[in-house]
Amino acid sequence: MTIAQETENRAESLNPYHIVQSQIEQAAARLGLPRHVIEIMKKPKRVLSVSFPVKLDDGTIRVFEGFRSQHNDAIGPTKGGIRFHPDVNEDEVKALSMWMSFKCGVVGLPYGGGKGGVICDPHQYSESEIERISRGFMEAIADFIGPDKDIPAPDVYTTPQIMGWMMDTYSRLKGSYSPGVITGKPLSIGGSQGRSSATAQGCVYTIAEAMNHLGKKLQGATVAIQGFGNAGRTAADLLAELGCRIVAVSDSKGALYQPEGLDLAEVKRLKDGSAITDYPAQYRLQRAEEILGLDVDILIPAALENVITAQNAHQIKAKIVAEAANGPTTPEADRILFAKGVLVIPDILANAGGVTVSYFEWVQNLMHYYWSEQEVNEKLRAIMIQSYQAVSQLAGEHQTDFRTAAYMISLKRIHEAMRARGWV
């Protein structure tokens, strides 16, 4: 095999769309689902590709491209984020919409999965340009979404303010105030208490359950966090409050490792200012990927897809891998980790706190009645613990990994809804 062929095969194995399809096949085989049901599950119901012009600050016009994928709406309207990133592509968006279906299914939300994205690097544009990009994309997809059809939310490099602009654009187009069309909004226009920390909070609830499952204490447990964005830094704070020692973090610019525990306040100050690598030099890792192989109790991949692969899975020493990111572990790596006895809390469970509180926000918008942060967190905790226990029990019964068990729960729920509606 030539180097070019090897590179092509490796790229193919890391295609997120093909990864989620293989995950569906594996779980569906254990459930004995009919072939036609599996084929329905393996493809989104619809995928929209759009292009739209935006006037930049210098007066020039640039045409942006974007996508919106809606996977399966048997249980209810589709739900999922919108990301602004230069690497957005159709296969990624399709895969993420499918993961959202199974994420909603495993925690029992009345949603199918959706996902969207615009190909752009938001760091290259001013705030006014980002606003015009946001409004332009919403205008392009407005006929395909709605509070009872498809409800977007924030994702990579999108913010509550961007959601606010998009909600405003949709409301103007429809001629009525429609806060329920999008979640992750600012509190002043229908956002939910607890939404900004929900992904990390839900992940921490599952980590606490997993540590209890393994008979280990959180007090003094060591943690490495790959990806120090919103979810990663919030998880660091929450785990530190529970007595964990955050010994390593990384971002796109580098990684830090301090065995006695990092000064989180200083790391966050540097993250918001120059770069985390301005931390004392003796604590910098030469390669950011080294963070994955550190001897820690808990490893949290909180960045993008495909960071734990067959090439590095053997190096992982953590007892628990809690996937705060979407799709950070490839199927080949999954098999290696399961054989090593590593407990992987899969993304569709570990990071389901975000969509769960987005669901709470949508419900509050529809009711025009809003909850306190304490009430939101209590409801979130109950759902995450119940879902973790259901996955753990099924994994034990079938002697399989948590990811397969989580997919089995979701596939069963979606199949039952499809059958009840007479689709299959």
pLDDT band at 10 (very low <50, low <70, confident <90, very high): very low
Query: Which token pair is 203?
Result: 């992940």
Counting residues of the chain whose pLDDT is more than 90, the rounded percentage is: 93
Beta bridge partners of 82: 116, 154
What is the average per-residue pLDDT within 121-143?
98
pLDDT band at 2 (very low <50, low <70, confident <90, very high): very low
pLDDT, one tens digit per residue, over 209-246 is 999 999 999 999 999 999 998 899 999 999 999 999 99
Q: What does pTM read for this prediction?
A: 0.93
Interacting residues of 29 by C-beta distance below 8 A, sequence separation 6+: none
pLDDT band at 249 (very low <50, low <70, confident <90, very high): very high
Q: In the prediction, which pLDDT does 224 show?
A: 98
| Sequence letter at residue 144 | F
pLDDT, one tens digit per residue, over 328-337 is 999 999 999 9
**Number of CB atoms found within 10 A of residue 393's CB:** 11
pLDDT, one tens digit per residue, over 69-109 is 999 999 999 999 999 999 999 999 999 999 999 999 999 99
What is the average per-residue pLDDT within 417-424?
97
pLDDT band at 1 (very low <50, low <70, confident <90, very high): very low
- Write the DSSP symbol of residue 242: T
Q: What is the mean pLDDT of the chain?
A: 95
Q: In the prediction, which pLDDT does 274 show?
A: 86
* Whether pLDDT at 6 is above 50: no
What angle do the packed helices 16-31 and 3-13 form, to 10 degrees? Answer: 60
Q: In the prediction, which pLDDT does 304 show?
A: 80
Q: In which region does residue 241 sit, left (phi positive, over 0), alpha (psi from -120 to 50) or beta (all else)?
A: alpha
Q: In the prediction, which pLDDT does 203 show?
A: 98
CA distance 347 to 359: 18
Known catalytic residues?
115
Task: Return the half-sphere exposure (C-beta side, CA atoms, 13 A cut-off) of residue 283.
Answer: 18
Cα dist from 9 to 1, 13, 97, whole Å: 10, 6, 24
Exposure of 103 by Cβ count < 10 A (0-12 exposed, 13-18 middle, 19+ buried)?
buried
* Whether pLDDT at 5 is above 60: no
* Whether pLDDT at 110 is above 80: yes
Exposure of 157 by Cβ count < 10 A (0-12 exposed, 13-18 middle, 19+ buried)?
buried
Instruction: Please state the φ and ψ torsions of residue 246, each to the nearest 5 degrees.
Output: -85, 105
Q: In what order do the strands lie in the sheet with 61-70?
A: 46-55, 61-70, 112-119, 78-85, 150-154
Beta bridge partners of 223: 246, 298
pLDDT, one tens digit per residue, over 165-184 is 999 999 999 999 999 999 99
* Whether pLDDT at 362 is above 80: yes
pLDDT band at 142 (very low <50, low <70, confident <90, very high): very high
Cα dist from 84 to 78, 118, 145, whole Å: 19, 5, 18
What is the average per-residue pLDDT within 133-145?
98
- Cβ atoms of 238 and 208 closer than 8 Å: no
pLDDT band at 13 (very low <50, low <70, confident <90, very high): low
What is the average per-residue pLDDT within 3-27?
71
Q: In the prediction, which pLDDT does 14 show?
A: 80
* Whether pLDDT at 320 is above 70: yes
Q: In what order do the strands lie in the sheet with 254-257?
A: 254-257, 245-251, 222-226, 298-301, 320-322, 343-345
- Cβ atoms of 408 and 395 closer than 8 Å: no
